[in-house]
Amino acid sequence: MVGPAPAILSRRGLLGALAASVPLMAVPALAQPQLATPVIPGAPGATPTDVTIEGHILLVDGQPFAVRGVAGDGPLALLPGLGATTVRSYGEDPGPLLDEAGKLGLKVIAGLWVGQPRQGADYTDAAFRARQLAELEAVVTKYRDHPALLMWGIGNEVEVDLDDDSAVWPVIEEVAAMVARVDARHPPLAVLAETGTDKVEKLRKAAPSIRVLGLNSYGDALYSVAERARKQGWDGPIIITELGALGQWQAAHAPWGAPFEPSSTQKAIQLRRYLAALEEQGAGTILFLWGQKQEVTPSWHSLLLPDGVWLEAAEAMAQAWGGQPPGGNQAPRIASLRVAGEPSAPFARWSADEEGAFTLDALEPDGDLMEVRWFVMAESDDRGIGGDAEQVPALFPDSVRQSGPTGARLSGLKPGHYRIFVELRDGKGAGATANMPFEVQ
């Protein structure tokens, strides 16, 4: 990104209200599953695993296996140290991911992409269904003996944004039945967007070949998601196949519709609570997104900054899973990003002939020097559905006229809606980020 030169900040000692989130929290530890033995396909002893189910429990070669991991394309090498066991893919060729994960002792939920009706998939077209099934069967046949394979993830929120989802469930069953026929060692999992009022029941009745339930869920809905699935009759294993802090659809918003995004520190606090609750519910956990993507903002669901720097969410993962953040490092913490002179205002507003000002309150718990970077983007007007690709909003590098470790001043913007972002980096691989929407009149 183009913008003002980064500022350097070193601070300790403030933010008493935040102090509880700074040290590594002592989360009650359940028995920690061992990572699978690292495997290299084709090497002696590199045999496929047998994945079986006993009630709510997933067994790998007869031993209980806790699904704890991520979805996304970020660097896998950091994950074993955090205590992760699993990586989820969506539908690309799983071969490279299986190979890399296997070398690290990780297992893979390999995605089988099922076309989404909202994107044009026509399930009244028998030829389309047959072609899709044949393509997916070829993938299952090719990779069913890979030693890093855990299970097959069928579709991703295929039922979303449909007035009538009745055509979806038979297609999921077609694919699940194919998986059961072609690869008896690895169970099929279906991925739904939350439970709805009856979605789990529909799946259970129409797709009996599905053995594991995957649910994408965010925010405080995570406290009850497994219980709600059980109430719809699901009695097998449950994996939260995407989980995250407060989603943009759950957030309060400015008068012009811009949702308020939690800071990376606020997200980590939420994730600590959600991961502990899901452990108690016996649900597997897959965080979204291990990487970076534009969805409302470049940071809302991103567990990493664009250059691969990890955020405090990685510490939350390590604390929940019995691991350690990379190098024992701790990420910077952001106590607040505020409108100067209006500390309680959730957004800013000023006239085009005026300037806006923001204040930052942050600390580095290890005492490291922090690089601080400010930038402005247009408010996104390209809102996808269900995680569909979005255009990255325009940057306005010349609008940041003054910036430093405790704030920034903006001017020169035309009337419109924008966001100011701040990113902190500690120089040791960890960072923090926050943003706030504003309006120029």
**Residues sharing a CB contact under 8 Å with residue 431, sequence separation 6 or more, in sequence order:** 264, 305, 309, 310, 311, 331, 332, 423, 424, 425
Taking residue 329's Cβ as centre, other Cβ atoms within 10 Å add up to: 17
For CA atoms 321, 325, 330, 331, the dihedral sign is negative
Q: What's the confidence (pLDDT) of residue 382? A: 82
Q: What percent of the chain has pLDDT over 90?
A: 87
What pLDDT, on the 0 to 100 scale, is given for residue 70? 99
Q: Find out whether 315 and 331 touch, Cβ atoms under 8 Å.
A: yes
Q: What is the number of other CB atoms lying within 10 angstroms of the CB of residue 324?
A: 15
The rounded distance, in Å, linking the Cα atoms of 341 and 357 is: 8
Quick check: 10 pLDDT over 80?
no
Identify residue 257 by its one-letter amino acid code: G
Percent residues over pLDDT 70 in the chain: 89
Where along the chain do its domains lie?
A: 23-328, 333-440
Residue with tokens 């035309």: 414
Instruction: Quick: pLDDT tens for 114-134.
Output: 999 988 999 999 999 999 999
pLDDT of res. 16: 33
Average pLDDT for 42-68: 89
- Stretch 262-267: mean pLDDT: 99
Residue 57: strand pairing partners: 54
Q: Does the domain formed by 333-440 have CATH 1.20.58.1610?
A: no
Beta strand extents in 364-406 (DSSP E only): 370-378, 400-404
Decide: helix, strand or coil at residue 307.
Answer: coil
Average pLDDT of the residues in 246-256: 97
pLDDT digits (tens, 9 = 90+) for 321-362: 999 999 999 999 999 999 999 999 999 999 999 999 999 999
pLDDT at position 39 is 52
Burial of 406 (0-12, 13-18, 19+ CB in 10 A): middle
Q: Does domain 23-328 have CATH number 1.10.1060.10?
A: no
Cβ atoms of residues 33 and 65 within 8 Å = yes
Q: What is the DSSP letter of 236?
A: S
pLDDT level of residue 390 (50, 70, 90 thresholds): confident
Backbone angles phi, psi at 103, to 5 degrees: -65, -25
Q: pLDDT tens digits, residue range 183-241?
A: 999 999 999 999 999 999 999 999 999 999 999 999 999 999 999 999 999 999 999 99
**Which residues face 70 on adjacent strands?**
87, 287
Quote the CA–CA distance of 267 and 288 in Å, as a whole number.
12
Pair 103, 43: CB distance under 8 Å: no
